[in-house]
Structure 1
Amino acid sequence: MNPEGHAGTSGPLGVGVIGLGRVSPAHLEGYLALPGEAQVVAVCDIDRRKADAVSTGLGVPGFTDHTDLLAHPGVDCAVILLPHLLHHPVVAAAVAAGKHVTVEKPLAVSEAQCRELIDAARARGVVLSVSENSRFVESYLRVKELLDTGRIGGVRLVRAFISGSAVSELADPDESWKHQDFGFAAILDAATHVFYVLRWMFEPVVSLQATTRHWSVDHGVPKSTVEDGAVVTGRFAGGGHFSVEIALNLEVPWGERFEIYGEAGSVVCDQLTDPVATFYRDASDFGSVLPGVSTDPRGWRTASMHRGAADFVRAVRSGRSPAVTAEDAAYAVRLAEAAYRSVREGGVMVSV
């Protein structure tokens, strides 16, 4: 039994996917690419047309009620891809049914809800993880190696920038949840990608401040109540600083830029450039390409999601903890809550 409280298994895992929206094809591809390790055995969506289309294509049962999928005897793991406000109740139901669970981030919309789910999973002895792709981005994996081997040294400054256009999603009547509270929000949905990376790579965040912007009203989405722009800055326990910039209504392809400036070296990653990652040894070095990182501006995100699916399946099968734990998920939501607290208080610095 490992620290997550579960034992490994030898046969292929039966995977049930709950929610067949825009992000589901990439997740399904990830699990379908693991023959002998995992098998998609059931799917579910409240839209009968979606459920029927996917279930027919895969040759598996399709449901419109998640409780029916969870009652399917062949389902070992639930992959939950639902609007954020539904994460807590559906994850809770899956855990209660004895299923291992991975859910699209965030785990829940508050740290308190995350804690409830963590306690329930521990008591039930099942794996609880979050499908957080940033943990599996190829360039970030290489950057983590630089940090672990001391080639960057003490971290002075970290900068992250996520940008793209969410106008079509925010305006889509079939995805109205995205422009409502706790929907496709710059902090809760996008900045949390970076918060996972901060926990993975650096010392704990001790304080932060945040401001937000609502651009959607100028892009034909007048009813949107979520922020689509945000800037979060803060400080690590060791004294280093970080900034996270999110802009979800820019006329550029979806991309991420991640920069680390240390005492011994620096590295810059940009998913839309070639090369993607450049390492700088000192102030006189104009940079060298970080080896082992492919340039794939269209497919880098999907590839990282596939790696995440493989890690989750292999964690359950082997009995080890997944790379992205429920504690990581609770930490990301804690930072998001602190950022929103700062926004409500006028952008002041708050303790985490």
Structure 2
Amino acid sequence: MKKLKVGVIGCGSIARRRHLIEYEANEQVEIVAVCDLKAERAAESAKKYAAKAFTDYKELLRLAEIDAVSICLPNYLHAPVSIDALMAGKHVLCEKPMATSEEEAKAMIEAAEMSGKKLMIAHNQRFVSSHQKAKELIDSGKLGKIYSFKTTFGHPGPEAWSIDGAGSWFFNKEQAFIGAMGDLGVHKADLMRYLLGEFTEVGAFIETNAKENTEVDDNAVYILRTSSGIIGTLAASWSYVTGGDNSTVIYGEKGVLRLEADPVYSLIEEYRTGETVHHKLDKIQTNEEGGNTTTHVIDHFIECIINDKEPLISGEEGMKSLQIVLAALESNETKQIISLKQGAEVI
């Protein structure tokens, strides 16, 4: 079988610890090119994966043999580089958040439609075993009516994760646009949409109170409501100094689901009857040494290309999750609850 030939644009930590590793592990893929503005980084990854090295992504896109690319760049470059790649006839897997504005997100979606190529956003929370099992339980009606939720994604910050440490683009407002909200919060916005459906109203408090020498947010709390009246909170933080928290709790009429909230059991079902079910499932991916780093994002992207399927997190899905973050920014600025129907056009 002919292998899909892929390129990776950006050779920082997300490329090294996720995309390149997972492409290499997929037997249907051949990594043929990598690109980074820093020539030594591109050369290092090129040597490791027997690929061509570039410092100009447009030169990489001129390679006719490339079928698909991953965009692993600072947030402000996601839209322009994705659009260039799509218009060059490449399928695109773009890191999150997909863009820095709704206008950029729409332009990416239009480019995918015009080119006939796949556009997928790298939200990995939908592929976590406990999250998929929770959706199955919610959709089955076992919990009855869903009342509320709380979800959080926090860790000490990107200093230890980013290849550039404390000098990383993550802390540069012009390059990052947003901080913990874009790094972590948009993941949870996407997850809660996946589990509970669309949100219609957003309120938020956003602060920069944990990190120095930066203007991007490092702590954010959203209040969210669906059209059916489910309400809950979403927290994104770079201030959890003793380690990460990637947990979610769903409160329903007949019981409670605890996701990634226990060190042993990935999912715990608790019912008002007294019944409790403990699930030992594949662990959620982590950045810690020895932790699970398989996201299943790459495998899904490749499967969608080969079988001509719509990605689970398409451009449209990525934009809807981004709209929640944009509405949270507007809420914090205006001190008002923002209607997603009014504040952002939902496709």
TM-score normalised by structure 1 residue count = 0.89
Matched, 1:202 2:196: yes
Letter paired with 1:91: S
Other-structure match for 1:5: none
| Offset, 1:270 | 2.2
CA contact (8 A) 1:186 1:247 kept: yes
Instruction: Report the 3-state secondary structure (helix = DSSP H, G, I; strand = E; otherwise coil) of the residue aligned with 1:267.
Output: strand
Q: Quick one: which of 111, 114, 135 aligns to 1:120? A: 111
Matched, 1:190 2:184: yes
CA contact (8 A) 1:167 1:249 kept: no
| Offset, 1:173 | 5.4
CA contact (8 A) 1:203 1:238 kept: no
CA contact (8 A) 2:155 2:237 kept: yes
Alignment of structure 1 residues 23-34 onto 2, 5 Å? 23-25=14-16, 26-34=18-26
| Inter-partner Cα distance in structure 2 for 1:287 and 1:245 | 27
Other-structure match for 2:102: 111
| Offset, 1:301 | 5.9
Instruction: Report the 3-state secondary structure (helix = DSSP H, G, I; strand = E; otherwise coil) of the residue aligned with 1:168.
Output: coil
CA pair 285-303 structure 1, distance change in 2 beyond 3 A: farther
Other-structure match for 1:236: 226
Other-structure match for 2:337: 349
Matched, 1:336 2:325: yes
Matched, 1:176 2:165: no
| Offset, 1:131 | 1.0
CA pair 326-172 structure 1, distance change in 2 beyond 3 A: same
Other-structure match for 1:11: 2
Letter paired with 2:231: H
| Offset, 1:167 | 5.8
Other-structure match for 1:92: 83
| 134-143 or 313-322, larger mean C-alpha shift | 134-143
Other-structure match for 1:261: 251
Alignment of structure 1 residues 286-297 onto 2, 5 Å? 287-294=276-283
Other-structure match for 1:215: 209
Instruction: Report the 3-state secondary structure (helix = DSSP H, G, I; strand = E; otherwise coil) of the residue aligned with 1:153.
Output: coil
CA pair 45-211 structure 1, distance change in 2 beyond 3 A: same
| Offset, 1:322 | 1.1
Other-structure match for 1:65: 56
CA contact (8 A) 2:260 2:267 kept: yes
| Offset, 1:203 | 2.6
CA contact (8 A) 1:20 1:44 kept: yes
* Deviation digits for residues 268-317 of structure 1 (CA, Å, limit 9, x no counterpart): 012661122110122x526320254448764666222xx11000000000
Give the gaps of 5 or more residues in structure 1: 1-9
- Aligned-pair Cα RMSD in Å: 2.0
CA contact (8 A) 1:187 1:339 kept: no
Structure with the larger RCO, 1 or 2 (CA within 8 Å, 6+ apart): 1
Instruction: Report the 3-state secondary structure (helix = DSSP H, G, I; strand = E; otherwise coil) of the residue aligned with 2:293.
Output: helix
Q: Quick one: which of 261, 265, 280 aligns to 2:270? A: 280
Task: State the percentage of identical aligned residues.
Answer: 25
| 144-153 or 337-346, larger mean C-alpha shift | 144-153
| Inter-partner Cα distance in structure 1 for 2:181 and 2:137 | 28
Q: Quick one: which of 231, 235, 248 aligns to 2:238? A: 248
Matched, 1:319 2:308: yes
Instruction: Report the 3-state secondary structure (helix = DSSP H, G, I; strand = E; otherwise coil) of the residue aligned with 1:303.
Output: coil
Letter paired with 2:24: L
| Inter-partner Cα distance in structure 1 for 2:122 and 2:285 | 21
CA contact (8 A) 2:171 2:215 kept: no
Letter paired with 2:149: V
Give the gaps of 5 or more residues in structure 2: 341-347
Runs of 4 or more, structure 1, over 6 Å off, are: none
CA pair 279-255 structure 1, distance change in 2 beyond 3 A: same
CA pair 103-149 structure 1, distance change in 2 beyond 3 A: same
CA pair 228-345 structure 1, distance change in 2 beyond 3 A: same
Other-structure match for 1:7: none
Instruction: Report the 3-state secondary structure (helix = DSSP H, G, I; strand = E; otherwise coil) of the residue aligned with 2:294.
Output: helix
| Inter-partner Cα distance in structure 1 for 2:291 and 2:271 | 26
Other-structure match for 1:4: none
- Number of residue equivalences: 334
| Inter-partner Cα distance in structure 2 for 1:45 and 1:210 | 36
| Offset, 1:88 | 1.0
| Inter-partner Cα distance in structure 2 for 1:152 and 1:293 | 23
Instruction: Report the 3-state secondary structure (helix = DSSP H, G, I; strand = E; otherwise coil) of the residue aligned with 2:73.
Output: coil
Matched, 1:75 2:66: yes
CA pair 292-188 structure 1, distance change in 2 beyond 3 A: closer
CA pair 320-296 structure 1, distance change in 2 beyond 3 A: closer
| Inter-partner Cα distance in structure 2 for 1:149 and 1:13 | 37
| 286-295 or 52-61, larger mean C-alpha shift | 286-295
| Inter-partner Cα distance in structure 2 for 1:110 and 1:338 | 11
